[in-house]
Amino acid sequence: MAGRRAKGGARMVRIVKAPDDRRREILDTAMDLFAEKGLEGVSMRDIARRMGTAPGLVYHYFDSKRKLLDEAMERYVEECTEGLVNLLRSTDLGFREKVDALYDDIGDERLQRHSDFFHRQGNEGFHRQLSLRLCEHVQPHMAAALEQARRSEGLIVRDPETLASFLLHGHIGILSAHGDADAQTVARLREYAHVLIDSQTERPEA
């Protein structure tokens, strides 16, 4: 904590935060403003004003709104996928059970930080970009889960990388067209996923 003398001799206290805490504060403040006013309607000065600090502090961490948004998206991707990644790494569930759990969790993304911005009307392009990043982040973990199923369940997978990619990317267009995922849409996606898995995998003969 540091301070300086104001007029009249009173000391103005300035709170010094850890860099990562300050970075997170800037990201959260910016994304709240982007959700309220849109990306183009917010300046770096607006972000600083909302935080009650000088614009120079914001520029110290981010030299542009685009870089700020890119980092917010990466952090958001990690938050949204943390539970799914842990699920795919689990050794307590079979591969089909993991896929079922994936579809059980569709829709939880809205509970995550910054969802108001990515689902704001007019931000469809950002939402599509986010959807692709989510899939790219999870895909290697899905492929690893298939490899784990090969070792532990004897599952024979013809092309693990393509299957993992299709299971994740294949539903983006459908979900985007329907907006919020209703139960009927999720059930249909789950059915398609299992048909795909059946067509691309084999069980060893007893």
DSSP string covering 134-191: HHHHHHHHHHHHHHHHHHHH--EES-HHHHHHHHHHTTHHHHHHHSS--HHHHHHHHH
Query: Which structural domains are found in the chain, ordered by start?
Result: 16-63 (1.10.10.60), 66-206 (1.10.357.10)
In the chain, % helix, strand, coil (3-state, to 5) comes to 70, 5, 20
Mean pLDDT of 188-194: 90
State residue 59's pLDDT score: 94
Q: Each residue of 61-76: pLDDT tens digit? A: 999 988 998 998 898 8
Closest CA to 98 of 129, 139, 142, 58: 142
CA distance 41 to 171: 32
Contact predicate 3/12, CB 8 Å: yes
Beta bridge partners of 156: 202
Query: What is the pLDDT, as a whole number, of residue 1?
Result: 45
Angle of helix 124-153 relative to helix 95-104, nearest 10 degrees?
160
Three-state SS at 112: coil
Res. 189 pLDDT band, cuts 50 70 90:
confident
The DSSP bridge partners found for residue 3 are 13
Question: What would the pLDDT profile of 130-178 be if each residue is shown by its tens digit?
Answer: 888 888 999 999 999 999 999 998 999 988 899 999 888 887 666 665 5
Instruction: Band the pLDDT of 8: cuts 50, 70, 90.
Output: low
